[in-house]
Structure formats: C-alpha cells, structure tokens
Amino acid sequence: MTMNIKSTSNHKLFTYLLYISLSCFFTSLLNIIHTVYILKIEFTAASFLIPSTAGLLFGWMLAHIKVLSTKLSTMAYTDSLTHIYNRLHFAHFLDVEIDKVKRYGGTFSIIFFDLDHFKKVNDNFGHMVGDKVLEQITNIVSKANRSADIFARYGGEEFIILTPETDISGALIHAERLRNDIDKFEFKTVGHVTSSFGVTEFISEKDTLETLLDRADKALYLAKDLGRNRVEKA
C-alpha cells in the first residue's frame, strides 16, 4: 500500500481525541442534569467544575496513552526515515499473499531495487543528504505505485514492492517506469541518481517465500552486473 501511513495514523489520532473531548463534554452535561433534577442538589460552581475537571483529566490520560500506543505501533511496522513499511512487516504481507494465491489461484510479482553507487552519495555529500535522497525516492515510487501495491524499505538503499494480481510482464513495465522516473529526477545537491531493478513472478507450484526473494535478489544483481540503471527478470 502506498498511502501515507504517518498521515493516516495522525487522522485516526485526531478522531480519537475529538471523540474523547465530546465524551467529556456530554458527561459534564449529564452530571448537571443528574445533580439538579434527580438528586435535587443545589447547583453550584463546585458541583460542575469538580466532575468536569476529573472527566477532562481522565480523557487527557486516555488520549496520552493512545498517543504512546500509536507511536509504538507505528514504530513496529514502519521505517522511521521514509514512513513506509519496514522489512519485517512486508514479510507479513508477503506471507498473506502467498497463502491467498496458493489457496485461490492467481499470481503476483515482486520488484526488488536499490540505488546505484549510493555509498558515494553518503561519502561525498554526507548521510543527511543521503537520507534526503531516500525520502525523495520513496515519494517518487509511492506516486507511481498503485494503491494495492505494498511498498517497503528492505534495508539501507534497498526497496521492495509486492504487486498483487500482476504477472511478470506487468511487473516489468511498472519497474521500467519507476527506473525511468528515478533516472530523470533531478535530486537537490546530488543531481543524478540511478537505480537497478530485479523482477520475478510467484510460481505457486514450487515457490516459497525464501525462493521467491532469492530469485528477485539474483535478478537485481544481474542488473548490477550488466551495467546498472536497468531492469532484469528472473
């Protein structure tokens, strides 16, 4: 999925905070009604402020716990720099897709790519500039991916895409578009950056997660061996 995970989490958190605030407000109103009309207690500032303050404090505590829970959850399944899925969570999606195809048929492909000579970027311009390049790469690829595609940072300058319901020919077309988008992009400070791609299709009769990833990795290194800035299949 190429959606902005961080933005989605922030939207959910805002909705939760709004819900807590409204709950506290209506609790205060119900307290006033209960105090004045049912218990027949004279309404005073204290009878309103004390329970209202307690309700708001409790709501703030719940919201704070929710913020911490959301941050921990996000850290567990996303890459801290690019805010796309990390390698561990990508493996979960891949397991699910393999199980689906083996049960119900169909196919999918894997696009594995990394940046050519990226060490030179870090050595010549520094790691902060290198991190900025990785963020820009993420944006370029995310814009080109379909909403159904699962995009993750595999490690360092390596990225991987799961393309559901896509055979090898479709995945090759998509990979070539990504390669071209990266190749023609003018990166601030760095200038020109290229990338190499390895593409493979899942074969349900014989593939496992390990064999699929190994084949994609070999295709990537074939692209490296043949001169880089190209797409190869396996």
Beta strands 108-115 and 195-201, pairing class: antiparallel
Torsion angles phi and psi, residue 27, rounded to 5: -65, -40
Residue 77: its pLDDT value, please?
A: 81
Can you list the residues of the chain whose pLDDT is less than 70?
Answer: 1-18, 20-22, 24-25, 28-29, 31-32, 34-37, 39-52, 54-56, 58-60, 62-76
CA separation for the pair 75, 85 (Å, rounded): 10
pLDDT digits 0-9 by tens, 54-78: 666 766 676 666 666 666 666 668 9
Fold of 87-233: Alpha-Beta Plaits (3.30.70)
Angle formed by the axes of helices 5-33 and 45-77, nearest 10°: 160
Active-site residue, from 97, 157, 201, 232:
157
Residue 165 annotated as catalytic: no
- For 195, the enclosing helix (H) or strand (E) is strand 195-201
Q: 46: Cβ–Cβ under 8 A, 6 or more apart, which residues?
A: none
Beta strands in 56-185 (DSSP E): 108-115, 150-155, 158-164
Q: Which pLDDT score is estimated for 72?
A: 62
In DSSP terms, 197 is beta-bridged to 113, 231
pLDDT tens per residue across span 25-41: 677 667 667 666 676 66
